[in-house]
Amino acid sequence: MANVLITGGAGFIGSHTCLVLLEAGHQLVALDNFATSSPESLRRVLAIAPPAAKARLRVLEGDIRDPLALDQAFSLGGGRFDAVIHFAGLKSVDQSVREPLSYWDVNVAGSRNLLSAMIKHHCHTLVFSSSATVYGHPHHIPIAESAPVQPINPYGHTKAAVEQMLADLASTVIENQAVAPSAERPPWRIARLRYFNPVGAHPSGRIGEDPLGPPSNLFPFVSQVALGQRPALRIFGADWPTPDGTGIRDYIHVMDLAEGHLAALEALWNGPAQMLTLNLGRGRGYSVLEVVKAFEQASGRSVPFQFVARRPGDAPWSVADPSEAGRQLGWWARRDLEEMCRDGWAWQRSHPQGYRSVG
């Protein structure tokens, strides 16, 4: 049983990962300031988790930018965590263009603060939420981890900056006169996980994605149109160089993603000092029109749409090469588009107002 700090544990990916880790027998402290989430998600996690797991999750309200909150989290963890999984952050590309400093503050300064606390409390094992956004406009599809990191928006810049900070930490040199001239490195075990497009929900339909305000991702938008909360889906571009003219993305079920975190945690915890950089995607792309059709089938509702102009900065294709995660972690995404739509719809239908809905 590992003792793990989960920052941003109440969020979409964090809550599903807390559940998977509890089911695997780990002990967790979830630290979250609920800036973009609700504490209800973690109450639901406890309700779904096996009874024996309930005592293994503690929740602390606090901000990763506040060193005292981090000290408090470490003391709740008994002074020492075996590992940290770091989800806390802001994730909207559009908002990052309007408020870049908020993104540098939370995503970069917050991460730096967390790393300082980890060093202070002798924890050197970290799983970090990075993003396929770091690839910008990739030259080759599928995208391998060796593709250049060249983000094209402030959100992507902050993820790339934290990735660089972690690489610098992993190669820190410690002066050690006793073993001179060879230099020692601190025993960092780091996984930089580059997610593609997480969607869906836990099959119980009790936890799911709950965006604040109008969603910027396709799936919550499609769900809200299917529910009649929005009149139509706007599809940005019908003339991309793809088979049906709409953009293609690599969607990954959030439960597969959560299991990827469990695999990364266990690989690091049992493994040598190392830094892994891994794509977490399915390796299969779907167009916007394919998603609409699959969602209509899963929900039995129609999803009206209209084509509008392309958005500046969008790319026609983004599909992961996930084979390195398979090799390093023995992990592959297993759930298909039908399951993503079915589980996402089960959540949305029963929670039309997210966690503000009764149920």
- Is residue 110 close enough to count as binding ligand NAD by CB under 6 A? yes
Q: Identify which range of 2-10, 46-54, 313-321, 327-335 contacts ligand NAD by CB under 6 A.
A: 2-10
CB of 51 to ligand NAD, least distance (A): 25
CA atoms of 117 and 191, how far apart (whole Å) = 18
Q: Is omega for the bond preceding 181 within 30 degrees of 0, making it cis? A: yes
Contact call for residues 209 and 36 (beta carbons, < 8 A): no
String marking each residue 186-215 x if it binds ligand NAD according to CB under 6 A: ---------x-xx-----------------
Q: Which of 27, 111, 129, 279 binds ligand NAD (CB under 6 A)?
A: 129
- Largest Cα–Cα distance in the chain? 71
Q: Which of positions 69-108 make contact with ligand NAD (CB under 6 A)?
A: 87-89, 91, 106
- Which residues, 6 or more positions from 98, have their beta carbon under 8 angstroms from its beta carbon? none
- Is residue 277 close enough to count as binding ligand NAD by CB under 6 A? no
- Is residue 57 close enough to count as binding ligand NAD by CB under 6 A? no
Q: Which is nearer to ligand NAD, 34 or 236 (CB)?
A: 34
- Nearest-CA neighbor of 207 among 90, 346, 21, 28? 346
CA atoms of 325 and 260, how far apart (whole Å) = 8
- Is residue 163 close enough to count as binding ligand NAD by CB under 6 A? no
**58 beta partners:** 29
Q: Which of positions 15-54 make contact with ligand NAD (CB under 6 A)?
A: 32-37
Is-catalytic flag, 195?
A: no
Q: Which amino acid is at 288?
A: V
Q: Is omega for the bond preceding 100 within 30 degrees of 0, making it cis? A: no
- Is residue 63 close enough to count as binding ligand NAD by CB under 6 A? yes
Catalytic residue among 103, 135, 155, 195: 155
- Is residue 10 close enough to count as binding ligand NAD by CB under 6 A? yes
- Nearest-CA neighbor of 46 among 37, 33, 55? 55
- Nearest-CA neighbor of 7 among 42, 41, 31, 25? 31
Q: Which of 6, 14, 134, 250 binds ligand NAD (CB under 6 A)?
A: 14
Q: Which is nearer to ligand NAD, 11 or 151 (CB)?
A: 11
Q: Which is nearer to ligand NAD, 215 or 237 (CB)?
A: 215
Contact call for residues 200 and 46 (beta carbons, < 8 A): no
Q: Which residue has the tokens 């916007």?
A: 288
- Is residue 65 close enough to count as binding ligand NAD by CB under 6 A? yes
- Is residue 11 close enough to count as binding ligand NAD by CB under 6 A? yes
Query: Which residues lie near ligand NAD (CB under 6 A)?
Result: 7-8, 10-14, 32-37, 63-65, 87-89, 91, 106, 110, 129, 131, 195, 197-198, 217
Q: Annotated catalytic sites, by residue? A: 155
